[in-house]
Amino acid sequence: MSSKIRWSLPDGVDELLPPKAIEVEKLRRDLIDKYVSLGYDFIIPPILELSETIGGAAHDEIKSHAFTFKDNLTGKNLSIRPDISEQASRIDAYRIQSDEIVRLCYSGEVVKSKASKVLRSRTTIQAGAEIFGDSSRESELESIRLMLDSLAITGIKEITLSIGHAGFTASVLEPFKQLGSDLFSNIEAAVSRKSKSDLMSLIPEAFERKKHLINLCDMYGGRNILEEAKRAFSYIDNVSDYIDNIDYIAKEIVKDRDLEIHIDLGEIQGFKYHNGIVFSAYSGTAGYVLAKGGRYDGLRRSSEKDRPAVGFDLDLIAVSNL
């Protein structure tokens, strides 16, 4: 009498079966065909990276999302990639090594140490496109438009585009780092939730910029909040540049797109390596981010100068579920 071997997948690990598997694969091919037709070069980065080099300037943050283990062959620590966009920045900086503008696109599996709040899974398929070597606002518009075109390919309609600026948000948060890393992490989480009551209790009453951070929780809505933000945060260096960048993008994108624009100056989303304009797309049919991206100049350096970069990615399994 034979005994059956009990079989199961690891917690938070999923697989795609018919017909969902072919649906996701078709979407992946359609997106890559679109990107390549527009001049983006396709890359296939490895699923494993050396733990000591993963993430570039965002090493600690990205490594915290990665599965890490010791290589039986070399004894070195290896990490399974939790994100492909930072791998694209490595390829641009150290393999391609061009001073010219480089456009790269990709699609592949990523694995994170913690389950996604959306799918309750630690595995998914990521697709995206990145522009390196171009610091212009036009490159930011190109990336946003391509992200929106990608969602159009999926058939998702009634998109809301949320725009913020990581440089602005980081400047508002900067004074609070002196309160210690643990408290600062809690403060960031409260800002992400827009919880003024939590900020009231977390931050000492006498802290100079407390009221400004609490005010940040109200800095979302239409373009009308931008001038208000300039006045409220006039103490920040370059505040006009940050706000004008958002305003320009918001005005330009609606010229050829029929969509709702939402400004969120307290947006803290995804990986924190962004340092410029950030953007994400939502739909009324889903209660989660469909695609996200932004500017992340200097994540990787191939010389003494920061390499400008902007791009986006989307979760193919999440968008295919709509």
Overall pTM surpassing 0.85 (yes/no): yes
Least Cα distance to 312 among 162, 175, 155, 148 occurs for 148
In this prediction, residue 120 carries a pLDDT of 73
Q: Does residue 290 lie within any of the structural domains? A: no
The domain spanning residue 86 has which CATH number?
3.30.930.10
Residue 92, domain extent? 11-156+303-322
Confidence of residue 215 (pLDDT cuts 50, 70, 90): very high
Domain match, 140 and 42 both = yes
140 and 178 share a domain? no
Say yes or no: 187 and 129 in one domain.
Answer: no
- Ranges assigned E (strand) in 158-276: 159-165, 220-221, 260-264
SS3 7: coil
Residue 292 lies in a domain: no
Which range, of 116-125, 131-140, 195-204, 223-232, averages the lowest pLDDT? 116-125
Say whether 103 sits in a helix, a strand or coil.
strand
Residue 32 lies in a domain: yes
Say yes or no: 127 and 31 in one domain: yes
pLDDT for residue 251: 96
Number of domains into which the chain is organized: 2
In a domain, 233, yes or no: yes
| Per-residue pLDDT, 301 | 66
296 within some domain = no
Residues 6+ apart with CB under 8 A from 261: 160, 161, 163, 222, 223, 250, 253, 254
The amino acid present at 237, given as its one-letter code, is D
**Mean of pLDDT values over 103-114:** 95
Same-domain check for residues 192 and 312: no
Copy the structure tokens of residue 190.
Answer: 């409260």
Same domain, 80 and 140: yes
Looking at the structure, tell me whether residues 95 and 108 fall in a common domain.
yes
Mean per-residue pLDDT, 169-189: 95
> What is the three-class DSSP state of 35?
helix
User: Would you state the structure tokens that stand for residue 210, as one six-digit string?
Assistant: 């407390």
Angle (nearest 5°) at CA 306 between 192 and 140: 55
Any idea which of 21-35, 234-248, 293-307 has the lowest mean pLDDT? 293-307
Given a cut of 80, is residue 1 above it in pLDDT?
A: no
Q: Give pLDDT, residue 118.
A: 62
Q: How far, in Å, CA of 119 to CA of 14, rounded?
A: 10
| pLDDT confidence of residue 286 | 80
Question: Residue 5 pLDDT more than 80?
Answer: no
CA angle in degrees (0–180, nearest 5) for 273-276-280? 80
Same domain, 138 and 51: yes
| Cβ within 8 Å of residue 18, ≥6 positions away | none
Cα R_g (the chain), whole angstroms:
21
Residues with Cβ < 8 Å from 155, sequence gap 6 or more?
Answer: none
Other beta carbons less than 10 A from residue 44's beta carbon: 10
What is the C-alpha separation between 285 and 194, in angstroms, rounded? 23
Q: How far apart are CA 11 and CA 23, in angstroms?
A: 24
Let me know whether 151 and 163 are in one domain.
no
Q: Is residue 19 located within the same domain as residue 140?
A: yes
Same domain, residue pair 169 and 137: no
Secondary structure (3-state) at 166: helix
Work out the percent of the chain whose per-residue pLDDT is above 70.
95
Report if residue 191 sits inside a domain.
Answer: yes
Residue 318 within a domain: yes
Give per-residue pLDDT as tens, 30-70. Answer: 999 999 999 999 999 999 999 998 887 787 888 888 999 99
Asked if residue 295 is part of any domain, the answer here is no
Q: Compute the CA torsion angle 241, 244, 245, 248 (nearest 10 deg).
A: -160
Q: What is the rounded CA–CA span in Å between residue 95 and residue 307? A: 14
For residues 39 and 139, membership in a common domain is answered with yes
DSSP category for residue 2: P
| 76: pLDDT strictly greater than 60 | yes
